[in-house]
A and B are shown apart, each in its own frame.
Chain A
Amino acid sequence: MDDATLDGNAIGGLLASVFGTDMTMAVSTCGSCGAVSVVAELAVYRPGLGTVVRCRSCESVLMVFVALHGTTCTDLMGMASLS
């Protein structure tokens, strides 16, 4: 985690557009280490072409969002659960 790392607050709009509702208070469980966190506190990286969300405990990738031609492609395979 470096000083450019954001958190789930910064992608609240993106998440709302993908999930249809505010997700910053949703509870995520990491599929790798089991750490539980509200989405607002997850580590978020925006390298330019997409958005990567990582577990703060083990840095595993939880979610990836990439926008292509007006469609957002979403990969949630790193999450054990999101509620």
Chain B
Amino acid sequence: MAGTAVRGRLTWQTATVSRITRETASAVTLRLEVPDWPGHRAGQHVDIRLTADDGYQAERAYSIASAPGEPLTITVERLDDGEVSPYLTEEAQPGDQLEVRGPIGGYFVWEAETGGPLLLAAGGSGVVPLRAILRERSRAGSSVPVRLLYSSRSWDDVIYSSELGFPAEGVEVIHTLTRSQPPVWHGYARRVDRQMLAEVAWPAADRPLAYVCGPTNFVESVAAGLVGLSYPAERVKTERFGATGQ
């Protein structure tokens, strides 16, 4: 197929943290400098490996938050019982080094020639690769219509809230806040369900492509809901983050 096919590095490389941006109380964006970074596609991820003083190693996958051509950044959400995220979100400092492998993935990726309309469904930190897709859409000058349905516990948990507050032409962002809402809130206030999908998702007749990312329960529920709305299964791409306590 035409389009970039960036070959990932299969070996571990050393990355240096060059900038840290706090997104929410629990989420942090880290910019990583990797010598000879080959570039990446929107939707791909990297594996990060930390080695403790006693030699113990822990490895986790994190979605790339930046578009192709932008510096490599990842957004990490702190999990209370995490082995890697507490370090990355609370202790990492610019200048720290970590091992990175990637970019990884050829399934949950999008570039302008993939087309649309796009239905992006994010549960919590599942928004990260979808934000990379939105940035790539702008960078490539694509005009495919996009709806991002973004489920968060509360407004304080919304990552990239300012950026998503000013979406590009042709992009609609629909939030749902499942646990608590600001005093004056006219949006959805519950977990994504069939009714909400029926109201938000592009009709199947438009031949949309769906990308669904977030906790496993969220992904399973939304993917099933879209298939129930006659989306062909092969046009619903899924990326499960496991159980994140949401």
Contacts and interface: CB of A to CB of B under 8 A. Distances in A.
B135 interface: no
A7 B238 contact: yes
B240 A12 contact: no
A53 B156 CA distance: 36
Contacts of B46: 13
Contact of A22 (B61, B101, B105): B105
A7 B104 contact: no
Contacts of B105: 9, 12, 22, 24, 40
B47 A13 contact: yes
Contacts of A20: 10
Given A9-B107, A40-B107, 5 more contacts: A2-B243, A9-B105, A9-B239, A12-B104, A40-B239
A6 to B, nearest CB: 5
Given A3-B215, A22-B104, A25-B107, A16 B8 contact: yes
A4 B102 contact: no
Interface of A: 1-10, 12-13, 16-17, 20, 22, 24-25, 38-41
Contacts of B240: 5-7, 9-10
Contacts of B239: 7, 9, 40
A41 B106 contact: no
A33 B215 CA distance: 28
Contacts of B131: none
B216 interface: yes
A38 B107 contact: yes
B106 A22 contact: yes
Contact of A12 (B45, B220, B241, B242): B45
B61 to A, nearest CB: 5
Given A3-B216, A3-B217, A4-B243, A13 B107 contact: no
A25 B234 CA distance: 12
A24 B217 CA distance: 21
Given A9-B45, A22-B106, A40-B107, A3 B243 contact: yes
A5 B216 CA distance: 7
Nearest to B9: A16
A48 B102 CA distance: 22
B107 A24 contact: yes
Contacts of B237: 40
